[in-house]
Amino acid sequence: MKKIALITSGGDAPGMNACIRAVVKSCLGKGIVPIGYSDGYTGMIENRFTNLVSDDVVNIIQRGGTILGTARNDEFKTKAGRAHAIKNLKSERIDGFICIGGDGSFRGASALSNEMNIPVIAIPGTIDNDIFGTERTIGFDTAMNTVVDAVDKIKDTAGSHHRIFLVEVMGRDAGFIALETAIASGAASVLIPEERSNIELLAKDLKSQNKRRSNSIVIVAEGDDAGGVKDIYEKLLPLLEGYTLRYSILGHVQRGGRPSAFDRILATRMGVYAVDLLLEGKSEVMIGSIGDSLHTLPISKTINNTAVPRLENLKVIKALKTVK
C-alpha cells in the first residue's frame, strides 16, 4: 500500500483535525503517502487534493473544524458522479480510502468501495452521536460541553429574572445531545425526537416545579415532534399564564470550538487504527468505541441500523423533579 486517500465529509465536528493528524503521521511513519481531498466527495470529483506532509498537521490537534474542508455532495450519490471520483483516484493510484464523517458519508464510501474495489475504512465523526455501532462519535463530547457551558450561563439569567428558558440544541433526527446535556445541566425537562412530546403535561410539570418562582430550563432537540423551540414556546405561552418564558437557539456554536481531551484522544486512536486496518487488508468496516475499547463492524450494518440514545435516562430526569 503506497497511497491512502483521506476525506472529512458531512457536518464538521471538533476532533476531525486530530484524526487527520493521526492518519497523516501514522501513514508517514509507515512509508505511505497520505492524500487529503478537499471538501469531502466534492474534492474527489473535482480532483482537488494535497499530498499531506508533517508540516500540514503541526498544531492542528487543538483546532476545531477540519483543515481539509467538508461538504455535502448530491452528485456523488449518483453512479456518474462516483465515476468521476473513481477515475481521479485511479489516476493517482490510490490504494486505500479513509472517510471521517457520518451516515451519509459512509453510504458514499461503501458505494465507492464496491464500484472501485478499493479498501475503505470509516471513522464516525459527528456531533450528533447518531451512528449505530459506537458509543461515542468524534465531536460529541465537545458539543455536549459547549451546550452545558451555554446552559449554565442561561441558568444564571433564568434564576436572576425568575424565568423559564427553552433551549434548542442540535438533533434533527436524534436526541443524544439533548438528553445527555439535560442531565449534565440539571434541566427540568427534555424534549427529544425519540419520545412523543406532551406540551400540556410539560406545562403542568413546570408549574408544579415552580409554584412560587419560575427559573427552570427545558432542553429541546431541534427535531422534536412538537416542533422547533419557537413553536413549543408559542404552545406553552397560553398554558403558563403568569410565568415569563424565553427561548434560545444555540445553533452552529455547537459545532465549533477546541475539541475536548476526550475527543482528541478518541480521534487520534481511531486515526491510527484506521491505517493499521488497511495494512491488515481490512475493508468496508467502521471503527466504533465501547468504553475504552475500539472495535470494527461492517459499514453495511451501521448504515442499515438506527442509533438510539439511552431512553432509560429519561427516568433519571423524571426522578429528580421536585415540587418547590
Query: Which is catalytic among the residues 12, 128, 130, 224?
Result: 128
148 secondary structure, DSSP code? H
pTM score, whole prediction = 0.93
CATH topology of domain 3-139+259-303: Rossmann fold (3.40.50)
- pLDDT, residue 205, reads 87
Reported as a pLDDT band with limits 50, 70 and 90, residue 233 is very high
Judge whether residue 322 has pLDDT over 70.
no
| Count helices and strands in the chain by DSSP H and E runs | 11, 11
pLDDT digits (tens, 9 = 90+) for 217-228: 999 999 998 888
Least confident segment among 78-87, 269-278, 311-320: 311-320
Reported as a pLDDT band with limits 50, 70 and 90, residue 214 is low
| CA torsion angle 100 103 105 107 (round to 10) | 130
- How far is it, in rounded angstroms, from Cα 151 to Cα 181? 9
- How far is it, in rounded angstroms, from Cα 163 to Cα 245? 6
Judge whether residue 119 has pLDDT over 80.
yes
Helix (H, G, I), strand (E, B) or coil at 35: strand
- pLDDT, residue 40, reads 93
Judge whether residue 157 has pLDDT over 60.
yes
Least confident segment among 6-15, 78-87, 89-98, 160-169: 160-169
Percent of the chain clearing pLDDT 90 (strictly above): 79
Neighbours of 203 (CB within 10 A): 18
Amino acid (1-letter code) at residue 98: I
Q: Mean pLDDT throughout 106-127?
A: 95
56 is catalytic: no
The domain spans of the chain are 3-139+259-303, 142-255
Helix (H, G, I), strand (E, B) or coil at 4: strand
Neighbours of 246 (CB within 10 A): 14
CATH topology of domain 142-255: Rossmann fold (3.40.50)
Q: Mean pLDDT throughout 4-19?
A: 95
- How far is it, in rounded angstroms, from Cα 271 to Cα 97? 12
Reported as a pLDDT band with limits 50, 70 and 90, residue 243 is confident
